Amino acid sequence: MSVNEASLERRLAAATLERAQAYWDLGNRELALKDFQEAHDYSADLTVIPYSKVIYQIGMEKQESGDLEEALQDLQFAAGLAPESEWKSEIQQRIKDIENEILIGETSTILRTECPNCGRSIQAKWKICAFCGKSLNTQAT
């Protein structure tokens, strides 16, 4: 690629990145993501941090809505885009937080069951239901 072609691609990337940011600010996520990807294709080194921040933000919104698996995938993608930096370290910490949140959720699902008498949520290690007082000597379901 010649110097002129490289310069043109960087300018195209910058213009497309600016348009993507405008779409993002206006709330049009679909067009923003399309333009962020296009800008990234023109010049990855120019767009990698803004693009990773958009993917990160989408992942964080998914986490807040409770879609942890999807959030984890988005953050892993954002971390893959980001260069070694404080930013990448922040993403990696969030990934660990979500992984822990997923693990805690799975653990609490395993440890919590229902009382066969009153149907209230109990912990599997309980011998007596704290709500109705009935014995839980059989395996809780």
For the chain, give every domain's residue range: 3-112
Region of residue 43 (left: phi > 0; alpha: psi -120 to 50; beta: else): beta
Position 98 scores a pLDDT of 92
Kindly tell me if the per-residue pLDDT of 41 is higher than 80: yes
Superfamily of domain 3-112: Tetratricopeptide repeat domain (1.25.40.10)
Mean per-residue pLDDT for 95-105?
88
pLDDT (tens digit per residue) in 51-75: 888 899 999 999 999 899 999 999 9
